[in-house]
Structure 1
Amino acid sequence: MPVHVVSKRRGSAWLTKNHPDALVLDVTSKGPSPWVRLSPFYPHGDIPVPFTPNTTGASVEGIWQALKVFEHADVDPTKLHVTTMTGLKRTVRRHGPVQGHRTGLEGTTLLQYEDARRRIYLPTYRWVLETRAATEIATLRDLTAEQEVVLLDYTTNGDVTDLRTPLSHAALVAQHLRSETGFVEQPDHDRHGQGR
């Protein structure tokens, strides 16, 4: 059965009209248990930080924000330890324009947006889906075999090359469910290319 990704802003009337028989699951940080565990903000803990041996973070979003570099601020390791699902964002308003994402807390290379998505965000989120949220993914596979499922997220962009809007983790989950190999393209280290 199909898996759809819909903006949470659409509202219940739109969902009832367009997906009347679907099971609707909110997979955002405001969603109910157990689906909140699919949010990149969820503090699973012990998530390996890319390019940083022997270092882990509490959440995917915490790792993404920790490695972000701004005009007036470098990496922020404190974001790795945030477990409240709040206070994770680092903004251009406070720190100036984004310069890129550092290849590890002590890395010397800055990855541009698309490359950072491929080499930091996607592998980290996939690791969570395959380890920390494996039970929820297995349950979703069973549910989608029986009925139409709608995953709610704030954005719906599942295209890593579309840099205009942040990636939707719900779209990544849907891709993961549809594919035997998951959603993540293996990092191409020959490619060189602020959201996620």
Structure 2
Amino acid sequence: MTITVESRRKKLASVEKHWPNAAIIDVTWKGAEPWVRFSPFYPHGGIPIPNTPSETAQSVEGLWQGLKVFEREDIDPRKWAVTDMSGIKRGGKSRGAVRGHRFGVGSDVLLRYRDARLQIYLPAYKWVLEHRVAAEVEQLRRLAADKPLVLLDYETNTDVEDLSSPLSHAALVMYHLQGAWPTPLAA
């Protein structure tokens, strides 16, 4: 099974030339149905928020952004309710620098970026793969059994331990399809 991640920013003709006869699937928020459902921005609903049994988020990105803590602003639960795949990101100078991600509502635990990636983002995205897009995962598995599979994403960082750039969610789809979910190195 050959699966790879390529940048959605590349010209499609270039990707097709590099990967002839491959199934090329855009798994970003700009992808076609049903593949758009792999986007972390997609509002699946019911995504469990860590250490917060009574709360869920619409999207993985909403969960991630909502738990982000800044110098002058704590979590923003409103991000968990966003369903139109826009207005989810949080940043800006007025909030100050990012201090980390809160490990659930009311938690005193503030996770650094690596730990937040491992304890918030990865479990939330895996939950979506297992509970919200299982049928689409099987479709991709069938495609990958017949020909190379190229997953398009805006981010191409496939290394969970590489904190220099955002992690590609397409890489997580690839790992899931290969039965090789990332196991973090000891801290």
* Fold-level similarity (TM above 0.5): yes
Cα deviation, residue 184, structure 1: 4.4
Q: What corresponds to 1:194 in structure 2?
A: none
Deviates more, 1:139-148 or 1:87-96: 87-96
Q: CA RMSD in A?
A: 1.5
Deviations 1:5-51 (A, max 9, x none): 00011112311221121111100011000000011100000111011
Gapped regions of structure 1 (runs ≥ 5): 192-196
TM-score between both structures, scaled by the size of structure 2: 0.95
**Would the aligned equivalents of 1:69 and 1:101 in 2 still touch at CA under 8 Å?**
yes
Distance 2:73 2:35 in 1: 34
- 1:74-113 aligned at under 5 Å gives the runs 74-113=74-113
Change (3 A) 1:94 1:14: farther
**Would the aligned equivalents of 2:65 and 2:88 in 1 still touch at CA under 8 Å?**
yes
Equivalent residue letter for 1:43: P
Equivalent residue letter for 2:69: V
Gapped regions of structure 2 (runs ≥ 5): none
Equivalent residue letter for 1:120: I
Equivalent residue letter for 2:28: T
Q: What corresponds to 2:73 in structure 1?
A: 73
Identity rate, percent: 53
Superposed structure 1 runs of 4+ greater than 6 Å apart: none
Distance 1:129 1:9 in 2: 24
TM-score between both structures, scaled by the size of structure 1: 0.91
**What SS does structure 1 have at the residue aligned with 2:93?**
helix
Distance 1:91 1:169 in 2: 20
Q: What corresponds to 1:176 in structure 2?
A: 176
Cα deviation, residue 92, structure 1: 3.6
Deviations 1:36-94 (A, max 9, x none): 00111000001110111111010000000010000111000000000000000001434
**Would the aligned equivalents of 2:7 and 2:152 in 1 still touch at CA under 8 Å?**
yes
Distance 2:15 2:93 in 1: 35
Equivalent residue letter for 1:36: V
Deviates more, 1:4-13 or 1:115-124: 4-13
**Would the aligned equivalents of 1:118 and 1:185 in 2 still touch at CA under 8 Å?**
no
Whether 1:162 aligns to 2:171 is no
- 1:1-196 aligned at under 5 Å gives the runs 1-179=1-179, 182-185=180-183, 191=187
